[in-house]
Amino acid sequence: MPKVLLVDADWENLVALQKALTAAGHEVAVALSGSFALTMLEWDRPDCIVSLTENQDMDAYELCSIIRADPATKDIPFLLLTGPTGPAPGAASRAGISRVIAGKFNVSTLVDQVGELLTRTPAPPAPAPAREVDRARRSIVN
């Protein structure tokens, strides 16, 4: 099941979007802040990230830039949800944002866009952890 990470400072939005994407067959993880989202990626790698422009501690452009700078996360598709005016010219491409939905949208648009991103850009294979790391993880879990 494709996994989507939703980032939004507004809890009510987050719940509504989560319900829509879950109903479309996605497994959905949520984060209220950019920092929480970024520290999730190491253990719970999504196939696609959907973020509003403004989050609790960093905007979506910075969030995406950090994701693109890390070889382990750089290929994750990133969908930005903005206000009606959309991003400033060049801002989205500079940050490495894959797609933008500007202004009001309906649920089916979001679901379609996420679906397209997942199809068009194959989810990056999770990097095989070094054997030592794998062993260490197992020893902690067990």
Residues of the shown chain interacting with another protein in the complex, contacts defined by CB under 8 A: 11-12, 14-16, 18, 22, 27-33, 35-44, 56-58, 66-67, 69-73, 130, 132-133, 136-137, 140-141
Structure tokens, 116: 């397209």
When the beta carbons of 35 and 121 are compared against another protein, the nearer one is: 35
CB contact at 8 A, 124 and 76: yes
C-beta of 90: minimal distance to another protein in Å? 23
DSSP at 130: P
Which is nearer to another protein, 42 or 120 (by Cβ)? 42
Report the residue number, 68 or 102, with the smaller CB distance to another protein: 68
Residue 48 φ then ψ, to 5° = -160, 145
**C-alpha to C-alpha distance for 30 and 94, rounded to whole angstroms:** 25
